[in-house]
Chains A and B, each alone.
Chain A
Amino acid sequence: MAELRTHPQIPQTHTFLKADNISAHYGDTAALKDLTLHIPANRLTVLIGPSGCGKSTMLRCFNGLVKISAGRIEYEGESIRALSETDLRRSMGYVIQSIGLMPHMTVEENVDLVPRLLGWERASRKERATRLLQLVQLDPEVYLGKYPNELSGGEAQRIGVARALGADPPVLLMDEPFGAVDPLTREQLQNEFIRIQRQLKKTVIFVTHDIDEAIRLADFLVIMKDGQIIQADTPEKILATPANEFVENFLGPNRSLKRLTLFTADHCMVEAISGTDANAKAYLEPETPGCYWKVDPKGIPLSGFAWVQGKIIERPINNSGHTVQKYSSLRECMSNILSLGLPSAAVVDEKGRLCGEVRFETIQKISIS
Chain B
Amino acid sequence: MQQLSSRSTFKKKLAFTALLLFILHYFLPFFLARENRISSEISCGMTTLGLMFTLLLSLPPLLLLLYAFIKSEWLSEILLSLAGTLGLLLPFVVLATVGPNVVTELGPFARYSPTSGMYVYLIAVVVIFLMKPRMRIYDYVGLLVVLAVVVYVGSQGSYSQLGIFMEAKNFGSRLSREVLAHIRITAISLAISIVIGLPLALFSYQSQRLRKLVFPLLNILQTIPGIALFGLLIAPLAALSQAFPQLRAWGIKGIGNTPAIIALSMYALYPIIRYSFTAFTSLDEDVILAARGMGMNSRQIWFTVRFPLAMAGVLHGIRVALVQTIGNATLAKLIGGDGLGVLVFEGLGQASVDMVMLGMLLIIALTVAADRIFQVLINFFTPIPLRGKEALHD
Contact = CB atoms under 8 A, between A and B. Distances in A.
B151 to A, nearest CB: 43
Interface stretch (A92-100, A222-230, A306-314, A350-358): A92-100
Of A63, A85, A89, A101, most buried by chain B (CB within 10 Å of CB) is A89
* Size category, B interface: 20 to 34
Interface in B262-296: 284, 286-296
A357 B349 CA distance: 96
Contact of A90 (B286, B295, B309): B295
A173 B295 CA distance: 13
A149 interface: yes
Contacts of B289: 65, 96, 100
Interface in A104-155: 104, 113-114, 117, 147-150
Closest 3 CB pairs of A and B: A100-B290, A104-B383, A89-B295
B305 A102 contact: yes
A300 B88 CA distance: 68
A94 B293 CA distance: 6
A104 B295 contact: no
Interface of B: 284, 286-297, 300, 304-305, 308-309, 383-386
Contact of A100 (B286, B300, B383, B385): B286
Contacts of B386: 103-104
Given A102-B291, A103-B309, A104-B308, A96 B385 contact: no
B291 A86 contact: no
A103 B287 contact: yes
Interface residues of A, number: 28
A96 B309 contact: no
Contacts of B383: 103-104
5 contacts: A89-B292, A89-B293, A90-B294, A94-B294, A103-B284
A156 to B, nearest CB: 12
A166 B385 CA distance: 23
A62 to B, nearest CB: 11
Contacts of A163: 294
A340 interface: no
Given A94-B290, A147-B384, A149-B385, A100 B295 contact: no
A88 interface: yes
Contact of B287 (A87, A90, A102): A102
Nearest to B382: A104
B283 to A, nearest CB: 10
Contacts of A114: 294-295
Nearest to A89: B295
Given A85-B295, A101-B287, A173-B293, 13 more contacts: A65-B293, A86-B296, A86-B297, A90-B294, A94-B290, A100-B287, A100-B288, A102-B291, A102-B305, A103-B287, A149-B385, A150-B385, A166-B294
B385 A103 contact: yes
A103 B383 CA distance: 9
A137 to B, nearest CB: 22
Contacts of B297: 86
Contacts of A102: 287, 290-291, 304-305
A117 B295 CA distance: 8
Contacts of B288: 100
Contact of B296 (A117, A147, A166): A117
B81 to A, nearest CB: 35
Of A100, A103, A164, most buried by chain B (CB within 10 Å of CB) is A100
Contacts of B286: 96, 98-100
A65 B292 contact: yes
Contacts of B287: 100-103
A100 B296 contact: no
Interface string A56-86: 0000000101000000000000000000011
Of B294, B300, B385, most buried by chain A (CB within 10 Å of CB) is B294
A96 B294 contact: no
